[in-house]
Amino acid sequence: MLKLFCCFLILQIVFSPASSFASASPRRGLFVSVIQDPPVLSNRADMERLLDFAVKARINILFVQVYRAGRAWFPSRGADASPYYECLDKAGVDPLAFLIEEAHKRGIEVHAWMNMLSLSRNENAFFLRKYGTGVLTRNILPKKGLRDYRIDGQYFLEPGDPRVREELCDIVEEAARYYPALDGIQLDYIRYPDSRPFYGHTSANEERFKKETGIESITEDNRQWRAWKRAQVTDLLDLLVRRIRSVRPGIKVSATGCAPYCRAYEEAFQDWPSWLSRGTVDFVTLMDYSPYPREFKKCILELRDKFSSWDKVTIGIGAYKLVGLPLTFSEELDYCRRERGLSYAVFHYGSLLEDPAIAGLMAAEH
């Protein structure tokens, strides 16, 4: 009960109706994932079909995944760039450069979508080969081997680790520098894992916390420990954004946020409202991925009365959970389209290819 009350107070403060944002045209986004089969980025004809679909669906932003699981789909020196060179060989063009050029001809922006703290299941990731398990976030349970560090089947980097921060800053700088026509960068997985959220217990983290606070006993119900972890996530984002803008001052930078807000704040230690109020990012894409329209709408309604404008928020629609459920997808999509000024982004294009019915709903006249 106390947790819910705290979240309510935070929402009242951060999302005060007195806040005012400049109005802007709603974003209509589409995520393009590299995990779909076959990957769109490896085939020029598939990329052209993506662009044709985006025009029909009136998409004005493509969020194109170029960094995932420590692997890069651009010519990175700090990450495993073998996927990029495989796509370059198969497509005959730099896929991201091609999409940027062709999308701009159609009035569509391209944002590089980068999964920062998740290594997925990549046990051969550069971070692990160079630093070992010390850079992975963990709980207090004993670890005998690498797989004991898995959380929901993934390996998560520790946001408070200075080595992680520096390596990730180098990687995002590479993407920003290499593609001068890139419109934006969306930073994903800027958070702690929120499955049984008792992480952050690396030796380096605990030593830093004790030194900074003077607190020797670390427990999960300690509010200073929880606030400190939340600060590690925000500090990482600040560093990434500053590095990006040091080479591309005018580029749009956004981040994904967990939804509802209480989940983000109390479980993922992700204070995305402060990112907006301080102007750290241009907008946040909220992962409102409920397959139940009532819950999907409730999340939006809870925010609607707190904002004077929607221009800094984009609602993510989880099409990957709605394959085979065209009526549900239609209800959620139509709700976003009817809400004046509301931006949305569909996750993801591969799910639309998997289910032509929901793809047809997106491309239908509206």
* pLDDT grade for 366, boundaries at 50, 70 and 90: low
Asked whether the CA dihedral 321, 189, 67, 102 is positive or negative, the reply is positive
pLDDT value at position 16? 43
Q: What tokens were used for 89?
A: 């060989």
Express each pLDDT in 189-235 by its tens digit: 999 998 787 999 999 999 999 999 999 999 988 999 999 999 999 99
Express each pLDDT in 56-110 by its tens digit: 999 999 999 999 999 999 999 999 999 999 999 999 999 999 999 999 999 999 9
Express each pLDDT in 128-173 by its tens digit: 999 999 999 999 999 999 999 999 999 999 999 999 999 999 999 9
User: Is the pLDDT score of 15 beyond 90?
Assistant: no
C-alpha 45/C-alpha 27 separation (Å) is: 26
pLDDT value at position 25? 86
Nearest to 248 by CA among 186, 179, 187: 179
pLDDT value at position 164? 98
In sequence order, what are the beta bridge partners of 264? none
**Is residue 250 helix, strand or coil?**
coil
User: Is the pLDDT score of 21 beyond 50?
Assistant: no
C-alpha 223/C-alpha 53 separation (Å) is: 48
**Are 171 and 158 a contacting pair, CB within 8 Å?**
no
User: Is the pLDDT score of 8 beyond 50?
Assistant: no
pLDDT value at position 348? 96
| Structural domains of the chain, with CATH | 24-363 (3.20.20.80)
Report how far apart, in Å, the C-alpha atoms of 208 and of each of 212, 216, 229, 266, 309 are.
6, 11, 11, 21, 39
Is the bond preceding 291 in cis, omega lying within 30 degrees of 0?
Answer: no
- 11 vs 252: which has the higher pLDDT: 252
pLDDT value at position 23? 42
C-alpha 98/C-alpha 315 separation (Å) is: 27
**Are 114 and 67 a contacting pair, CB within 8 Å?**
yes
Nearest to 83 by CA among 66, 98, 97: 66
C-alpha 5/C-alpha 221 separation (Å) is: 16
